Amino acid sequence: MSHYTSTEIMTVTAARLLSNADVCFVGIGAPSAACNLARLTHAPGITLIYESGTIATRPSVLPLSIGDGELCETALATVSVPEMFAYWLQGGRITVGFLGAAQIDAYANLNTTVVGPYDKPTTRLPGGGGAPEIATNCGEVFIILKQTKRGFVDKLDFVTSIGHGRGKGDRERLGVTTKGPTQVITDLAILRPDPETRELTVVSLHPGVTRQSVVENTGWALKFAPTLDETPAPTVEELEVLRALQARTRAAHGQA
């Protein structure tokens, strides 16, 4: 078995959730790495869409932002941002939204706006961008982020994107008909919403990770499925493709 980092298993595990048939709205950062790894391995036919309007883009390096020229140069088509949101996203044409976040709570609500009080935050984050619309309009949402007490909090400092509100039925009460977050992939585990309560529940631990280490990195009383799976380790091919993608990215951005 090849040696791998906690970030690598997080990225590989997230990539495996995607299929050839998916039309995926991709967030910058960890979501972008996972989605492009899927495209370069088991899902070459996946359609990747970025917020700037690039459709079926096939970047050879990971973009620094949605405005990266690599996305437009390798896209099948580029449409205006209003068309991307009004026709593609709000029109229900996107199967999966892939998001990161600074904070997440027990019901997969996300904060990408501020840490601390809104008027005088300790940290001002990049903001919502298209994430609130992605969270409500994509068929389902996958979330990827590292598991720490700073990120997995009992109460968000600001709700940027709704997950499951405060539990089952909250999305429906707001008139939202999509599934919302169905998978949360971290560097320690996989979590899914409980079918009855919608509270995030650990369903799989990554190899070598203990229940206690997951609990210690979560800011609420975390629940576990009755039977826990062990996440399959990354394959040699998955690691080779991911590392080559990251090496190309570093070289392109002058970090090699």
Q: 157-216 pLDDT, tens per residue?
A: 999 999 999 999 999 999 999 999 999 999 999 999 999 999 999 999 999 999 999 999
CA atoms within 13 Å, Cβ hemisphere of 141:
29
Q: State the pLDDT confidence band at 253, using cuts at 50, 70 and 90.
A: confident
Question: Which residues are known to be catalytic?
Answer: 51
| pLDDT given at position 256 | 54
Q: Write out the E strands in the chain.
A: 23-26, 47-49, 54-55, 77-78, 96-99, 103-104, 110-111, 114-115, 123-124, 140-144, 181-185, 189-193, 200-205, 223-230
| pLDDT given at position 2 | 66
Amino acid at 61: V
Predicted model pTM = 0.95
Domain ranges of the chain: 6-100+129-145+161-252
pLDDT in tens, 78-109: 999 999 999 999 999 999 999 999 999 999 99
Residue 23 CA to residue 156 CA, distance in Å, equals 29
Phi, psi for 59 (deg, rounded to 5): -65, 145
Residue 66 CA to residue 167 CA, distance in Å, equals 32
pLDDT in tens, 2-35: 699 999 999 999 999 999 999 999 998 999 999 9
| pLDDT given at position 235 | 97
Residue 238 CA to residue 245 CA, distance in Å, equals 11
Contact 126, 82 (CB under 8 A): no
How does the average pLDDT of the chain come out, rounded? 95
Which CATH superfamily is 6-100+129-145+161-252 part of? Glutaconate Coenzyme A-transferase (3.40.1080.10)
Task: Say if residue 127's pLDDT is above 70.
Answer: yes
| pLDDT given at position 67 | 86
pLDDT in tens, 227-238: 999 999 999 999
**How far out from the chain centre does Cα 32 lie?**
8
Q: State the pLDDT confidence band at 225, using cuts at 50, 70 and 90.
A: very high
Residue 12 CA to residue 214 CA, distance in Å, equals 19
The share of the chain scoring above pLDDT 90, in percent, equals: 93
